[in-house]
Structure 1
Amino acid sequence: MGQAFYVTGTGTDIGKTFFSSLFMAKYAESFQFRYWKIVQTGAPSAGDTEFIRKTTNLPDSFFMKPAYEFATPASPHYASKQEGVILDPKHLLNELIKERKTNTLVEGAGGVFVPLTDDYLTIKGIQESNLPVIVIGSTELGTINHTLLTLDALTSRFIPVLGFYLVGQNNPLQTDNAETIQRLGGAPCLGLTNFPEQKLSPNEFLDFAKNHFDTNRNVIDTILNPDDEF
């Protein structure tokens, strides 16, 4: 038995894939976690799965194939229509439920209100799957508002939130940002990691993840030992 969890962000390109790369680099092999970008938009060769595969140099067995994959770099509801594909939320939900008790990191597309179809939002899929969520926010100016809005949207729907994690450029506001969000948002801050100052090789990235990600083990211990059964 394991525990799948869902990684969402306060917006697009906020750092979900960076967080997922760090998590996989540090914990995939030791805890047998797999990565799953359940809906991928944009060129598959430049998708998040391939990025994490190259960044971490993990074997293919640690990666699951997206349930839906679109070449169009847009919201899933638009990309699917452009490519003549019917995206079925029930199929997505069934696939998620199958993996609910496995050690799987599920990365969403964009933020919680990204439409998967014309009338089905990502947040509804998260709610119906009942997967616990980690919210990824930025270290930069504006993150208090964006992260609190996302946390409120999730908790007001009784979606289990494990906590939030901040990533981004080193910012003198980041410590106060994290403390303020934790105080006002009703969810624990699981940590903070700044972007590396230069591009790293896979081996260098593994070292970076080991030394700079989840240094207090808040993320992994919360996932593996939740207070309540979801």
Structure 2
Amino acid sequence: MKLRTFVVAAVAALGSTAALAASSSVVDFSNGMQGWFGTGAAGNTFSGIDSGLGNGSQAFHAVGPASHFGMVTNTSKDFLGNYTDMKSLTFSFDMTVKELAIGGPGGFPLGQDLVLELRDYDKRGPQLPYSSVWVFMGVIGGYAPASQHFSVTIADTSSNLLPAGWHGNGDADQYGGPTLPYGQTFRRILMDVDEVAITTAVPGFIYGAEQYYDVAIDNIALSAVPEPEQYSMMVAGLGLLGFTARRRKRA
């Protein structure tokens, strides 16, 4: 391949990578709720956008007693639809916990699991009005850091098998735990995501006692992961462009 042709191809790959990045979606609440709404604690004492808790901008802040805290969207087109259009993707967000306790403000500190759940209402399960796949993101409250960044990457959206760490929901297995309904697969759910939930309501668990929440969420993001060959072409192209510039400078 001639030098000029290779450089043009590298620049084209760079443009392709930029296009993928441009398709990424981020909700930092600087433009309102952007299709997201709160559940559980988000419907209590205070629930709204706070300019003092965000990571560089506003954040959604919820304060009050509830059995769980959650952020959900079923209207934001940037986060719904066919996830398999992206071969690989990363979902991430920031959370700040000012207090999570039993017994109201100043109560006994509590740690809770946090999950990301992708739901498909067109594939109703025997136990729920949807089928879903979900993954543990980490722990908030308790001894966890007050401010945390959570992230999960799906390396292959075309996989029918649940990746390590992922689980199914919509039906119950022989032990009563959550599982995907018969005939549903990881890929089938990702092909038609109708609702996304970030929540402490872990599938399969029953929540009765109220906790006191003072939490904020920010920078909810979904982005495609560029393919390795795009990175290689981009790096090679940039190197050749630098080499050409140095040759011209010497001349």
TM normalised by structure 2 equals: 0.27
Structure with the higher strand share, 1 or 2: 2
Tell which has more relative contact order, 1 or 2 (C-alpha 8 A, sep 6+): 2
Considering fraction of residues, name the structure with more helix.
1
